[in-house]
Amino acid sequence: MSARRVSKIVVVGGGSAGFMSALLLTKALTNMQVVIVRSPRIPVIGVGESTTVSVPTFLHEMLRLDRKQFFAEVQPSWKLGIRYEWGEPGESHFNYTFDPCVDVQLRADARINAYHCLKDMRDASVFSALMDRAKAPCIITPEGQPKVAAAVGYHIENKAYVAYLERQARIAGVEIIDEDVVDLAKDEAGYVTSLKLGDGRELAGDLFIDCTGFASWLLQQQMGAKFVSYAESLFVDTAVVGSWPRTDEVIYPYTTATTMNHGWAWRIDFADHITRGYVHSSAFCTAEEAMRELQEKNPRIGEMRTIKFRTGRYDQFWINNVVAVGNSGGFVEPLEATALHMVVEHLRLVRQMLAESYGYLQPELIPLQNERCRILWDDIRDFLAIHYKFNRRLDTPFWRHCRTETNLAGAAPLVELYEAVGPTTVCDHLIPRNTVFGLNGYLSLMVGQRAPTRWNEEPTPQEWQAYEAYRHRVRQEVAHAVDVRQALAVVTHPAWRWG
């Protein structure tokens, strides 16, 4: 197998995955010609509104897209984490935040805060305290200057996001063709040489990025990748989605995940409207029943639409010179909003090979990149499985089924260890390296849901005193935070400069 030179990349699909791919490959690789071909008939998915921290990092640090212009054109709001209305029966909630929280170690010889959070998790980090006070990550310093955190997630409206990315792609010199791809040609080694378009044109290229969404037109339909289902661990397969215009002032700086009878519902806050999506299992209720439940609990919700999906990944995301990015390469339900995050991860793997090989495709590296990608996807499945196994909020047939039947898969050893010894940092050794949730994520979910553990030691008075002093500092810091509307006015003001 010899290395192949890549000088022209063809991206198929013009959703967020297609444009994120085109922009990265244009900007990160020198002398690369990038073309997007997208169907004028097949619309983009039109959902996907919540991100992890890696998406803003990708946009503003890897692609170097201006934050101020992004706020002006896409009108995102901030996401500091997820408020889980989840876990114990009753009305309680817990926060899984994007800043260090349960994994904070107050002194080198101290136990991490997760032990203290078993007793009381409130205000266990700055983001958590901001979330509970509905404040933005914008704190006014003693000098009266606003300080805005950059390591946060976004809430973004899918269509506005795609339109913005398209404008940026055109500025970066990406050619955009509006045509269906209907066929392709391969060489004797099974590498794609060209695509056939609906108008009869041939489009040649050296590397083909499949961003065709759930159709997976190149990876699955043409290259024969096999779907690996996560249905033994994750049972939901349908979402009903709606929104309503805002009349109140409080914009929550987080995604809310509320336990519902047959699944869960997200709430995402924008400046002018709120969206709700009820993700459920069609084995336990129809879409019409889900719409009724969502409507009863959110009387202002408008017209709803239904989206079906299947949960899993492909056995390979990269076959010869075809790479899948976005829903074409895998999809897990949006509880942890990981789809755009995985777009970034797939692109990291592609960029790494091409940039470090000076624009050559190295066949020997493809199996390694496929294995690294598999680990990232399976980690998401394992993490989500924990959410379903330990949620005792409702006693409905769906949730009883989740508690008894969820296959914890790769999370099983960690759950066993936690049960025996509590939230030890040793758990970290059971979490794959360089994945998105890490110790903070896993322990936030275990502690927040009050997952079973035989560990029942109370913190010592000294430990509790140190934890209280830490929480006092957190509360003092957030006392000077402003709300989301005020913070949006700060970052969109003509005089505002991002540091």
Ligand X SMILES: Cc1cc2nc3c(=O)[nH]c(=O)nc-3n(C[C@H](O)[C@H](O)[C@H](O)COP(=O)(O)OP(=O)(O)OC[C@H]3O[C@@H](n4cnc5c(N)ncnc54)[C@H](O)[C@@H]3O)c2cc1C
Among 332, 339, 481, 488, binds ligand X (CB under 6 A): 339
Report, in Å, the least distance between residue 44 CB and ligand X. 4
Nearer to ligand X, 94 or 266 (CB): 266
Instruction: Give the helix/strand (H/E) hosting 372.
Output: helix 366-389
Nearer to ligand X, 267 or 475 (CB): 267
Of residues 6, 16, 322, 414, which one binds ligand X by CB under 6 A? 16
Would you give the DSSP letter of residue 105? B
Q: Which residues lie across from 241 on neighbouring strands? A: 277, 305
First to last CA, the chain: 47
- In 3D space, the residue among 386, 474, 481 whose CA is nearest the CA of residue 100 turns out to be 474
Task: Please identify, using beta-carbon distances, which residue of 123 and 237 lies nearer to ligand X.
Answer: 237
Minimal CA–CA distance to 138: which of 378, 477, 379, 389? 477
**Residue selected from 11, 26, 39, 430 as contacting ligand X according to rule CB under 6 A:** 39
| Residue 211 in contact with ligand X, rule: CB under 6 A | yes
Position 267 contacts ligand X (CB under 6 A): no
Residue entry with tokens 């409130």? 122
Burial of 78 (0-12, 13-18, 19+ CB in 10 A): buried
Q: Is the Cβ of residue 42 or residue 412 nearer to ligand X in the bound state?
A: 42
DSSP states of 188-204? TTS-EEEEEETTS-EEE
Of 340-369, binders to ligand X (CB under 6 A) are 340
Stretch that binds ligand X, among 47-55, 199-207, 244-252, 448-456 (CB under 6 A): 47-55
Q: What angle do CA 138, 139, 142 make, to 5 degrees?
A: 150
Q: Smallest gap, in angstroms, from Cβ of residue 119 to ligand X? A: 32
The two three-digit tokens of residue 478, written as one number = 């957030």
Residue 185 Ramachandran class (φ > 0 left, ψ -120 to 50 alpha, else beta): beta
Residue number, 102 or 279, with CB nearest to ligand X: 279
| Shortest Å distance, C-beta 412 to ligand X | 27
- d(CA 106, CA 495) in angstroms, rounded, equals 38
Query: What would the DSSP string read from start to end of 221-233?
Result: IIT-PPEEE-TTT
Q: Which stretch binds ligand X (CB under 6 A): 39-47, 81-89, 395-403, 456-464?
A: 39-47
Name the residue nearer to ligand X (CB basis): 307 or 417.
Answer: 307
The residue to which tokens 């909020």 are assigned:
393
Shortest Cβ distance from residue 13 to ligand X (Å)?
A: 3
Per CB under 6 A, contacts with ligand X among 295-334 are: 307, 309, 326-328, 334
**Taking a C-beta distance cutoff of 8 angstroms, is the pair 262, 284 a contact?**
yes
The nearest distance, CB 244 to ligand X, in angstroms, is 18
What is the rounded distance in angstroms from the CA atom of residue 86 to the CA atom of residue 451?
12
Q: Which stretch binds ligand X (CB under 6 A): 71-79, 97-105, 163-171, 207-215?
A: 207-215
Three-state secondary structure readout of 339-351: HHHHHHHHHHHHH
213-252 mask for ligand X (x: CB under 6 A)? x-x-x---------------------x-------------
Name the one residue in this structure whose structure tokens are 């202002």: 300
The only residue of 11, 22, 25, 38 in contact with ligand X, by rule CB under 6 A: 38
- Rounded-to-integer distance, Cα 435 and Cα 345, Å: 10
Q: How far is the CB of 430 from ligand X (least distance, A)?
A: 26
By CB under 6 A, tell whether 42 contacts ligand X. yes
Separation CA 14–CA 493 (nearest Å): 32
The conformational region for residue 77 under phi > 0 = left, psi -120 to 50 = alpha, else beta, is: beta
Using only C-alpha atoms, the chain has a radius of gyration, in whole angstroms, of 23
Q: Which of the stretches 8-16, 282-290, 371-379, 469-477 binds ligand X when contact is defined by CB under 6 A?
A: 8-16
By rule CB under 6 A, what count of residues binds ligand X? 37
176 in contact with ligand X (CB under 6 A) = no
Structure tokens at 234: 């994750």
Residue 158 touching ligand X (CB under 6 A): yes
Kindly tell me which of 180 and 428 has the beta carbon lying closer to ligand X.
Answer: 180
Q: Which is nearer to ligand X, 84 or 467 (CB)?
A: 84
Name the residues that contact ligand X, by CB under 6 A: 12-18, 37-39, 42, 44-45, 47-51, 158, 180-181, 211-213, 215, 217, 239, 277, 307, 309, 326-328, 334, 337, 339-340
